[in-house]
Structure 1
Amino acid sequence: MRLDAIDRKILAALQGDGRMSIADLSDAVGLSASPCLRRVRALEEAGLISRYVAVLDQRKAGLPVSVFVSIKLERQQEEALDAFSAAIRTWPEVLECYLMTGPRDYLLRVVAADLDAYERFLKQKLTRLDGIASIESSFALEQVKYSHVLPLP
C-alpha cells in the first residue's frame, strides 16, 4: 500500500491516540469525516493498522521489574526453534521475543512484580524447557525511552 501525506497524518494521529473519534481525526488531518473514515478502514484492511490497544503504565500495573533475557539453544534446528517459540508465546510475562543473529538465539523482554517473581518465572518455566544451553538475565535499572510510535517517513 502506498501512503500519501494524509495517510501518514492519520497514522501519526492514531498512534498518539487510538481512541480519537473520526470527527477529531478528520479535523486533525484536514479531511471531512466520510473520506477520513474510508481511509482508516482501508489502512485497517491493508493490515497497516493491525489493532487498537490501551498502553498501560508498567509500574502502576504492579510490574516494575523489566528483565532482558538472552537465550542460547543447544541446537538451532527448525524443530528446536519452533518448540521454544511455541512455549514462549504462552507465557504472559514475556512481552517481547526476538529470534536473533549473533552469539545468542533469542532475546526476551520479561516483566515481573519483583525479583522473587522473576526467579519463579525462571525456575518454573524457562529452565524447564528442553534444549536450552544457557540463559543470561540483565535487569533494567531505568527506562530511558519507551515508544510504541513508529517513525513514519
Structure 2
Amino acid sequence: MRIDGAATQIGRVNCARAATRARISRMDRIDSKILVELARDASLTSEQLGTRVGLSPSAAHRRVRALEQVGMILGYGARLSRQARGNPSTIYVQVTLADQRQATMMAFEQALERTPQVSEAYLLSGESDYLIKVEIPDDDSYERVHRDILSALPGVQRLVTQVTLRTVIAKE
C-alpha cells in the first residue's frame, strides 16, 4: 500500500512537471511583453503593467504569478549604482587553468564561490577557461587580490587582467 501511495505521489509530481513544461511552451506574445516590461522596471504595479501590455490589472497579476510558478521569473531586485555599492573598481580577469580535468575545474569553481571579491564568473570556450568579474574598493587593492587570492586559487596557470575605465552600456 505504501508503494502504491509513493507511486501515486510520483505520478502527481510528474504530471505537475509536464503541466509546467506545457505552460512554458504555451507562452504567448503577452507573456513575452510582460517579461520585457518587468525586466525594464520590476516595480510596476499590476495596473501599470496591465496598461502597458493590454490587460486588466487582475489578468496581469495572474499572468505574472503564472510566470513565477513556471520559473520564467526567478525573482526581483534592484540595480544599484556604483556609489550605492561603495563605488568599486571593476576588473575582468581571464583565467587559464593548468588542465581541464573535472576535479581541477570543480576545485577552482568552489574556491571562486568563497572569494567575496568575485561577483561573476563564466566558463568559456577558447583561449581562456574562465572570465571572472572582480569588484574592489579601489584600483590599488587589486595587486593584493591578484597576488594573495586569485593567483592562489587551485589550478590557476595564467591570469590576464583588464581594468574597466568606464561603463558604456549596462543592460540588465
2 CA distance for matches of 1:63 and 1:78? 36
Amino acid at match of 1:8: S
Root-mean-square deviation (CA), in Å? 1.5
1:63–1:111 contact (8 Å) kept in structure 2: no
Structure 2 partner of 1:88 = 112
After the TM superposition, which residues 1-153 of structure 1 pair with which residues of structure 2 at under 5 Å, given as runs?
1-2=24-25, 3-148=27-172
* Higher relative contact order (CA closer than 8 Å, sequence separation 6+): 1
- Deviations, residues 83-139 of structure 1 (Å, cap 9, x unaligned): 111111222322221111111110011111212222232233212212110111111
CA shift at 1:61, angstroms?
Answer: 2.5
CA shift at 1:36, angstroms?
Answer: 1.2
Rg larger for: 2
2 CA distance for matches of 1:129 and 1:64? 22
Structure 1 gap ranges (5+): 149-153
Percentage of pairs with the same residue: 36
CA shift at 1:59, angstroms?
Answer: 4.0
2 CA distance for matches of 1:131 and 1:103? 16
1:7–1:39 contact (8 Å) kept in structure 2: yes
Aligned length: 148
Amino acid at match of 2:149: K
Structure 2 gap ranges (5+): 1-23
- Misfit runs of 4+, over 4 Å: none
1:74–1:131 contact (8 Å) kept in structure 2: yes
What secondary structure is seen at the aligned counterpart in 2 of 1:72?
strand
Q: Which has the higher helix share?
A: 2
2 CA distance for matches of 1:66 and 1:147? 16
1:69–1:109 contact (8 Å) kept in structure 2: yes
- Deviations, residues 14-63 of structure 1 (Å, cap 9, x unaligned): 11111111122112212112221111111112211111111101244223
Amino acid at match of 1:14: L
1:67–1:111 contact (8 Å) kept in structure 2: yes
